[in-house]
């Protein structure tokens, strides 16, 4: 089978299912999850290089919802089998809508089920370890290169991951996905800890620089007690990637929360 994956979460899943050799096209961001980083990029979140897609002759093309919604019809109109992978709203939908669904499409149903069960076991062990511990009030922020920011509401895999790790998302009562809260609202909710997802382009950011950028939060308990954690995107610690490795990130979060309590 020849597969093009324009979704890093799908690429990671395919590798774990033993299908890396069948992947014939990716995005630049997929290469973090590949053993062979020389695979050709045939698109990004902004567009698809249809000449390269035609040359790859894939049997299946995986696209990421929210960034490729307007492109899926164009891919299908060229005769390709295109699958739009949904943005999961919780940990279990990562397993069902990413791992098991992708595995079923590429003929690895049982392998995907086994992977899903393994990850569920990891989730259960984290949940058991934090049982009875006081939940830490956490504000999750995505800082973008232009210094704007957004956060995660209740309808996100992030909210679920924070909960499983023993935290409490300060926006758990907000029935939204990703949104931009006001500084005043964040300060009013007074988080005990702040997790900042740092994009690769901002990898040199320090906590002191972040505090200067986000001076409106200086009266929060997190700022007063120096409980700001910069989460620089990697395979082990990532608040933006919702592939199988996010389960390991939840385990990492639970350890960080122990340090911050």
Q: What is the CATH number of the domain that holds 29?
A: 3.40.50.1980
Of 39-43, 226-230, 232-236, the least confident: 232-236
Of 27, 51, 85, the position where a domain reaches its end is 85
Distances, alpha carbon 170 to alpha carbons 114, 163, 209, 256, in Å: 34, 11, 23, 17
Q: How many CB atoms lie within 10 A of CB 38?
A: 6
Of 47, 62, 85, the position where a domain reaches its end is 85
d(CA 78, CA 104) in angstroms, rounded, equals 23
State residue 11's pLDDT score. 97
What's the pLDDT tens digit per position in 97-113?
999 999 999 999 999 99
Interval 78-91 mean pLDDT? 96
Instruction: Tell whether 122 is covered by a domain.
Output: no
Instruction: Tell whether 90 is covered by a domain.
Output: no
Band (pLDDT 50/70/90 cuts) for residue 3 is very high
Instruction: Tell whether 194 is covered by a domain.
Output: yes
Give all strands of the β-sheet with 60-64 in edge-to-edge order: 23-25, 3-5, 60-64, 82-85
pLDDT at 235 over 80: no
What's the pLDDT tens digit per position in 130-153?
999 999 999 999 999 898 999 999
pTM value is: 0.92
In the block, tokens 């926006």 appear at 171
Band (pLDDT 50/70/90 cuts) for residue 201 is confident
Q: How far is CA 175 from the centre of its chain?
A: 19
Of 64, 85, 106, the position where a domain reaches its end is 85
Band (pLDDT 50/70/90 cuts) for residue 233 is confident
Q: Do 147 and 57 belong together in one domain?
A: no
* Residue 58: φ, ψ to 5°: -75, 150
State residue 237's pLDDT score. 83
Q: Which domain holds residue 173?
A: 131-260
What's the pLDDT tens digit per position in 157-180?
999 999 999 999 999 999 999 999
- How much of the chain exceeds pLDDT 70, in percent? 100
Q: Do 142 and 230 belong together in one domain?
A: yes
Q: Do 143 and 78 belong together in one domain?
A: no
Strands (DSSP E) along the chain, which ranges? 3-5, 23-25, 60-64, 82-85, 136-143, 149-152, 167-169, 178-179, 193-198, 228-232
What's the pLDDT tens digit per position in 175-190?
999 999 999 999 999 9
State residue 234's pLDDT score. 79
Q: How far is CA 188 from the centre of its chain?
A: 27
């Amino acid at each position: 089978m020849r597969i093009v994956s324009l979704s890093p979460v799908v690429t990671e899943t395919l590798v774990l299912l033993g299908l890396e050799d069948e992947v014939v096209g990716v995005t630049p961001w997929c290469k973090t999850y590949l053993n062979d980083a020389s695979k050709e990029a045939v698109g990004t979140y902004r567009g698809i290089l249809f000449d390269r897609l035609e040359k790859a002759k894939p049997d299946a093309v995986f696209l990421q919802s929210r960034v490729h919604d307007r492109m899926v019809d164009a891919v299908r109109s060229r005769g390709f089998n295109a699958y739009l992978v949904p943005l999961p709203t919780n940990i279990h939908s990562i397993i069902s809508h990413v791992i098991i669904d992708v595995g079923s499409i590429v003929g690895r149903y049982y392998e995907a089920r086994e992977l899903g069960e393994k990850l569920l076991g990891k989730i259960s062990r984290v949940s058991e370890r934090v049982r009875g511990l006081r939940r830490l009030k956490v504000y999750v922020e995505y800082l973008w290169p232009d210094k704007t920011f957004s956060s995660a509401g209740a309808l996100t895999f992030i909210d679920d991951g924070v909960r499983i790790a023993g935290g409490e998302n300060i926006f758990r009562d907000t029935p939204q996905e990703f949104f931009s809260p006001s500084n005043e609202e964040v300060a009013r909710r007074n988080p005990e800890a702040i997790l900042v997802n740092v994009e690769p382009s901002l990898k040199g950011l320090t906590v002191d620089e972040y505090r200067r950028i986000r001076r409106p939060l200086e009266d929060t308990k997190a700022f007063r007690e120096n409980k700001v954690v910069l989460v620089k995107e990697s395979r082990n610690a990532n608040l933006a990637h919702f592939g199988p490795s996010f389960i390991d990130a939840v385990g990492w979060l639970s350890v960080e929360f122990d340090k911050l309590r």
